[in-house]
Chain A
Amino acid sequence: MSAGVIKLSRLLELRVEAEDGTPVGRVHDVRVRRVDGRYEVEGLIVGPRGLLVRLGWRRARQRDVLAWKDVMAVDPDRLVVRRANSSARRM
């Protein structure tokens, strides 16, 4: 795989953990936003509420979205997040 290419299926499979190892949940959806002509990942929808969102049962509120810039590392089996997103932690 060329460097820098990540498949959505892979993101959906990884566990999300904060820096200090506390689990934050799984990635249920990926929110993208148009930025000068291309679509950038704005954030990841995680946690149990995320599943409801994906099923179209609940709308994902802005605070459910874990900002992509808070993602520190994409390891083979987990995503490390700089600090647990306050709202995600509450889920």
Chain B
Amino acid sequence: MVACGCALLAGCGPLDRAELGRGVESLSALAAEGQLLADGVVQDRTRSTHTRVHAGTLAGDAAHEAQKLADATVEAGADRERDEAVAVAQRLDDALGELETFPGGERTAANVHRALTKIQALGDHRGHADDLERLAGRIKDGA
């Protein structure tokens, strides 16, 4: 339910660290899913229509998350983490957008996969993602 939970509640109060953390979590989920999609294209084991439509949906989620984070007023001291999260969200949006535009291109998919891995550092899920995981960690520590 990445759909902005905040929109369901009446108005969005300032994003506290927990919500910021959840936002980052949903970004890493999107990155993980993007990698599954990209894998399919790299190994030519999927259908381009599904890739294009679904990558577009995921890109939309990333853009929506970026916009939501950017608009929100954030708890004091969390501004730097918020800006970084917005930047990551936008890179995620761009990477997924690439996949949407070239859903059949194995080379593109490989680049997208690398970019998402860098964002997510998916070595193994428990591993330390250089961007998102570290960011999530700093957000929690700061709380």
Whether chain A touches chain B in the assembled complex (some CB pair under 8 Å) = no
